[in-house]
């Protein structure tokens, strides 16, 4: 699908087609336990093919010599960094290794621990981090080379597994984000961007609905009740990224939050788009829990609901309508921010 087709699709509001595209994407992206791609998509997109082979070849090509006794030749010197024994990154001299390590030591800690004063001087290969690690080096030096190599291999394996699980999570995310099929699968950054837009739009729609309901309630002096979004409660806390209430976890999936009856911190979501939301927390009610169709449903329902008839539909179908628009919106948003 090219940009022209996308534009036409958005203009015609042919959400059935969009839904079909979504389903097609999901079929192609179903995980197979390795690269998460079906054979046909592998054939169509070169990137997944490479991933499928890389994931196993790295293991089989691992030439780590467990009997090696000279640790320096295998880059497991604790004073260095960036070295590699196989298909990964490999440095050809120790100076570059040490420099790379020193730069790594300078990066701000993401977990709040104070940087050691000497770390700032560690750009010099023989100072800073190297001196700080004297004790570690001695301690590790007490292990024999075989043991160290084994530890390194185990560590590599764990890291590989960790990254695989992360990639699996990305794949799961791709499968639930409505998007127009492209010739290749979504990259990680594209997936995150779409997910962010999707969440923001969902939040926006729900809050808009809620505002409409509130306005209607005011006009009717509370005569209307028992509708879909009356259970939503906005609780501005004046704190961007502040803690969600009702035991919710920041960063919780929106639908998960709704399904679990928890609360969702909208301020956290809107942090990158301050213009969007003022309300901070949306709490879900049991009413909401029963009205969470799978993503595919959003598009399907929309394709059968025209603007006129919608006014006579129950509120939950109106929400579906809104979700269908959302599918188009996030695509438009994505492409408008992407290029």
Subset of residues 157 to 196 that bind DNA, contact rule: CB under 7 A: 157-160, 162-164, 167, 187-190
Q: How many Å apart are CA 205 and CA 269, to the nearest integer? A: 13
What is d(CA 26, CA 98) in angstroms, rounded to the nearest whole number? Answer: 45
- Residue 26 or 233: the one with the smaller Cβ distance to DNA is 26
Residue-wise burial string across 121-147, b where 16 or more C-beta atoms lie within 10 A, e elsewhere: ebeebeebbbebbeeeeeebeeeebee
State the minimum distance, in angstroms, from the CB of residue 243 to DNA: 18
Give the shortest CB-194-to-DNA separation in angstroms: 13
Tell me how far apart the alpha carbons of residues 266 and 270 are, in angstroms, rounded to a whole number: 6
Per CB under 7 A, the segment of 96-104, 223-231, 246-254, 315-323 that binds DNA is 96-104
Span 137-156, contacts to DNA by CB under 7 A: 139, 152, 154-156
- Least distance from DNA to the Cβ atom of residue 11, Å: 25
Stretch that binds DNA, among 41-49, 195-203, 207-215, 247-255 (CB under 7 A): 41-49
Residue 87 within binding range of DNA, rule CB under 7 A: yes
Name, in order, each residue with C-beta under 8 angstroms of 47's C-beta and a sequence gap of 6 or more: 184, 185
Site stretch for DNA (CB under 7 A), options 113-121, 201-209, 235-243, 320-328: 113-121
Burial of residue 287, with CB atoms counted within 10 A of its CB: 0-12 exposed, 13-18 middle, 19 or more buried:
middle
The residue (of 193 and 318) whose beta carbon lies closer to DNA is 193
Among 9, 10, 22, 101, binds DNA (CB under 7 A): 101
Strands 281-283 and 263-265: antiparallel
**Binding residues with DNA: total (CB under 7 A):** 72
Q: Which residue matches tokens 């691992």?
A: 62
Question: Count of CB atoms within 10 A of residue 34's CB?
Answer: 13
105 binds DNA (CB under 7 A): yes
Which residue, 61 or 275, has its beta carbon nearer to DNA? 61
Q: What are phi and psi of 283, to 5 degrees?
A: -105, 140
Residues in the chain: 339
CB of 129 to DNA, least distance (A): 5
Check residue 42 for interaction with DNA (CB under 7 A). no
- In the region spanning residues 114 to 133, those forming contacts with DNA, defined by CB under 7 A, are 114-116, 119, 129-130, 132-133
């Amino acid at each position: 699908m090219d940009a022209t087709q996308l534009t036409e699709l958005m203009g015609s509001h042919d959400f059935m087609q969009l839904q079909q595209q979504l389903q097609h994407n999901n079929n192609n992206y179903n995980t197979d336990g390795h690269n998460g791609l079906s054979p046909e998509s592998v054939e169509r997109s070169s990137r997944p093919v490479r991933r499928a082979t890389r994931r196993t070849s790295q293991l089989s090509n691992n030439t780590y010599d467990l009997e090696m006794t000279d640790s320096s030749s295998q880059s497991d010197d604790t004073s260095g960094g960036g070295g590699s024994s196989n298909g990964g990154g490999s440095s050809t001299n120790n100076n570059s290794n040490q420099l790379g390590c020193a730069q790594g030591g300078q990066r701000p800690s993401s977990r709040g621990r104070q940087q050691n004063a000497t770390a700032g001087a560690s750009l010099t290969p023989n100072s800073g981090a190297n001196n700080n690690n004297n004790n570690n080096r001695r301690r590790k030096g007490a292990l024999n080379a075989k043991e160290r190599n084994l530890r390194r291999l185990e560590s590599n394996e764990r890291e590989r597994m960790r990254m695989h699980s992360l990639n699996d999570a990305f794949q799961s995310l791709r499968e639930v984000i409505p998007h127009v099929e492209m010739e290749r699968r979504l990259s990680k950054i594209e997936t995150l961007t779409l997910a962010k837009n999707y969440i923001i739009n969902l939040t926006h729609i729900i809050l808009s609905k809620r505002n409409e309901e509130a306005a209607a309630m005011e006009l009717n002096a509370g005569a209307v009740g028992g509708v879909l979004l009356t259970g939503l409660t906005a609780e501005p806390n004046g704190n961007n990224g502040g803690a969600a209430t009702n035991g919710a976890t920041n960063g919780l999936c929106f639908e998960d939050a709704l399904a679990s009856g928890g609360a969702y911190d909208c301020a956290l979501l809107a942090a990158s788009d301050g213009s969007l939301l003022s309300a901070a927390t949306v709490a879900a009610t049991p009413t909401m829990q029963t009205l969470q169709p799978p993503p595919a449903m959003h598009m399907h329902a929309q394709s059968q609901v025209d603007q006129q008839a919608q006014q006579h539909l129950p509120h939950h179908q109106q929400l579906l309508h809104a979700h269908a628009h959302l599918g188009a919106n996030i695509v438009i948003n994505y492409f408008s921010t992407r290029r």
